[in-house]
Chains A and B, each alone.
Chain A
Amino acid sequence: MKNLSLALGLLLWLALPARAQDAFTAALPGLAGGFGDIAASVEQLGALGDPRGLPVLRALQAGQLQKTADGRLLLPGNTDAATGQPADGAGAEAVRLNNRVRQALRGALGRLQLVSPDAAERGAAAEAIFRSRSAEDVPILQAAIAREPDAGVKARMVLALAAAQLVAPNEEAKRDAIARLGAAGTVEARALLIEARAANPSLVTAIDVSIASIERSLSIRRAAETLFQGLSLGSVLLLAALGLAVTFGVMGVINMAHGEFVMLGAYATFVVQEACRGIPWLAPWSLPLSVPAAFLVAAAAGAVLERGLIRHLYGRPLETLLMTFGVGMILQQGVRTIFGAQNREVTSPAWMQGTLMLPGGIAVTQNRLWIIVFGIAVLLLVIAAIRFTRFGLEMRAVVQNRRIAATMGIRTGRVDALTFAFGSGIAGMAGVALSQIDNVSPNLGTGYIIDSFMVVVFGGVGSLAGTLVGALTLGVVNKVLEPYAGAVLAKVFVLVAIMLFIQRRPRGLFALKGRAAES
């Protein structure tokens, strides 16, 4: 039965070009008649599926189809609708519409768009039929599917066909449709099946199997998307916390202006973008260019802060906390004075925009994906800098035993300044990433500073692995909780959970043990 209808459709299709020629021109003159004739003619044109019908019906809908006294029909620009040749439009008047015609037009246009030359339009038409579906759409969909070149559009048409078949009287086709809808695994397909379940008592078992399969694939997809969002938030936290892991974790300097260094990085991105705007070949690459720029700006600010102020307060953490908070206020107000209080926009380059569809229908936004990649890259960079460079070696030496390092000829003051500048520079790079997903405003950093400290404390002060695990855990937990508790309560819950966690492990997840931890 199925094969038969397919074969019939195919035959119909093969026969179409020749017959449509006649049928199309034959259907046209009705448009010049009374409202009843127009409606009949519109329906006819819709059922024909001839692409030439599309401009005619569009013009009719827009009130721009004209008829001459001798019954010819003219498209806008005075083209003859039947022949496509230029024609004399003198004395022509617009074809008028009534509600019945309008209604007929909507259905007919929907079907005709299936043969539009624009793939996006064909997809939209399939989508519309999927939603409105009626048994009459079955043959025209089958015809459209047969000649559809675009795989994505074709898949949507197949779904629309399944939806239409579900309301058609053919039992066999219905079973087929149910199976296909089940495999599609979308929310809409599930809604269709649930609706069909009441109307088709004989097919309940098949429908239930399909619904269950949809639920399964939906929950897998939801879990995957939540995981991705969590990792994406986690990598944002990682970027913001990595700098702290160096300045607070390694050096033990508590810098409340850290968030403002992130903010400076975001503004540096904005400035680089504006500077590149005038140079067309450079403009798409302003974002990669701003990574070193943001690093340098924030690192310079960090070096000045450390040499100018913080080093006078070593060994007095509470005073350092208050002092750097004040510095943060000054930086915020300074930026507000220079750039204004309103948000600045940093646009994403074209290669970062859009959504990537992973297998299984998992939607992934490109810029979030890039942030994850960037976060990992920065982490590797930090590890490499600490492990494999001369600077990293000197830094570790100074942290472990300042006096011995000094006696071995390491200029500890210079190492302090460089380490602090390094941590601050990482904050600047975090600002580049944040400019892509958050408003670039003077108080950009305040939203992240507490979370970043939580990541460092939770992960274990002084441990980069802890920072990584801490950031990703907090990101994922936040996103997992959000659907149940809402974004704000999820955040509150996470804060409380960290406080309770610190009860069990006061030194965090990856704690240093032994004598080193005692001091």
Chain B
Amino acid sequence: MTEPVLYLDGVSVVFDGFRALNNLSLIVDAGELRAIIGPNGAGKTTMMDVITGKTRPTAGVVRFREHDLTKLDEASIATLGIGRKFQKPTMFDALTVFENLELALKAPRGPFSCLRWVLSGEARRRIEQVMEEVGLAARAHDRAAILSHGQRQWLEIGMLLMQDPELLLVDEPVAGMTDQETEHTAALLVRIAGRRSVVVVEHDLEFVRALGSKVTVLCEGSMLSEGSIDHVQNDPRVIEVYLGR
């Protein structure tokens, strides 16, 4: 049995008496693609916050390979190899598509290294390759501010790829996308998984079905059900709280 990439055990987060996460456990294996669904307020985003170091858990174990994530800050967790795409696409509007990707490119992150940084031919090729992959090659020198919503989602996925992370956390990647864009995104994520582990949080069940991955259902901060999409869709508890309303 291989060591899991991401290991959450008994994680709880309490805000002023409100339990955002309640004794949550989750294991993601190397190369696995995992979809996470759940109603609003189920704790999906809080779970992402805990993994990426934005929120400290009140209790529980959060490990990425051998690293204890509860002791690290956002930047160190990111450099360990965990990339995150936000629910609301966030990038640097004042910079161009190329520059956004360049900042995300895996390279020394200190201020002095950045000051001396020279874009090598290899780095340029890598950026161009990712721009191809997310379909933004034509817009390389446009400022991110003027991209369409779907293009912003892809740029953010592109930035994730530039980081070359071992684990990708993707929060609602297809919100606001057209059907065609959604299909394209699903294909992209499936292609990415295999080389790395991907955790996708999504509402869109058609999209989750298109991913064809194992599904975890969260409800009120803990895991309700886990298995294939057909398995969870037929789980009576899931139907009660989520699907069968």
By a beta-carbon cutoff of 8 Å, the part of chain A in contact with chain B is 513-515
Identify whether the interface residues of A are mostly helix, strand, loop, or mixed: loop
By a beta-carbon cutoff of 8 Å, the part of chain B in contact with chain A is 15-16, 18
| Residue in A closest to B46 when the chains form the complex, CB atoms | A515
- A-B contact number at CB 8 A: 6
Chain A residues with CB below 8 A from B18, complex form: 514
Enumerate the 6 nearest inter-chain pairs by beta-carbon distance, A residue then B residue, closest first: A514-B15, A514-B16, A513-B16, A513-B15, A515-B15, A514-B18
| Residue in B closest to A515 when the chains form the complex, CB atoms | B15
Task: Tell me the complex Cα distance, A513–B15, Å.
Answer: 7
Task: Tell me the complex Cα distance, A515–B15, Å.
Answer: 8
Task: Tell me the complex Cα distance, A166–B15, Å.
Answer: 70
| Residue in B closest to A512 when the chains form the complex, CB atoms | B16
Task: Tell me the complex Cα distance, A514–B55, Å.
Answer: 10
Task: Report A316 CB to chain B, min CB distance, Å.
Answer: 15
6 sampled A-B residue pairs with Cβ under 8 A: A513-B15, A513-B16, A514-B15, A514-B16, A514-B18, A515-B15
Task: Tell me the complex Cα distance, A272–B188, Å.
Answer: 74
| Residue in B closest to A517 when the chains form the complex, CB atoms | B15
Task: Report A87 CB to chain B, min CB distance, Å.
Answer: 93
Chain B residues with CB below 8 A from A515, complex form: 15
Chain A residues with CB below 8 A from B16, complex form: 513-514
Task: Tell me the complex Cα distance, A513–B16, Å.
Answer: 6
Task: Report B18 CB to chain A, min CB distance, Å.
Answer: 6
Task: Report A455 CB to chain B, min CB distance, Å.
Answer: 24
Chain B residues with CB below 8 A from A513, complex form: 15-16
| Residue in A closest to B49 when the chains form the complex, CB atoms | A518
Task: Report A400 CB to chain B, min CB distance, Å.
Answer: 15
| Residue in A closest to B55 when the chains form the complex, CB atoms | A518
Task: Tell me the complex Cα distance, A513–B20, Å.
Answer: 13
Task: Report A507 CB to chain B, min CB distance, Å.
Answer: 13
Task: Report B47 CB to chain A, min CB distance, Å.
Answer: 15
Task: Report A207 CB to chain B, min CB distance, Å.
Answer: 61
| Residue in A closest to B18 when the chains form the complex, CB atoms | A514
Task: Report A337 CB to chain B, min CB distance, Å.
Answer: 42
Task: Tell me the complex Cα distance, A514–B18, Å.
Answer: 8
| Residue in B closest to A514 when the chains form the complex, CB atoms | B15
Task: Tell me the complex Cα distance, A514–B17, Å.
Answer: 9
Task: Tell me the complex Cα distance, A513–B14, Å.
Answer: 10
Task: Report A503 CB to chain B, min CB distance, Å.
Answer: 15
Task: Report B79 CB to chain A, min CB distance, Å.
Answer: 24
Chain A residues with CB below 8 A from B15, complex form: 513-515
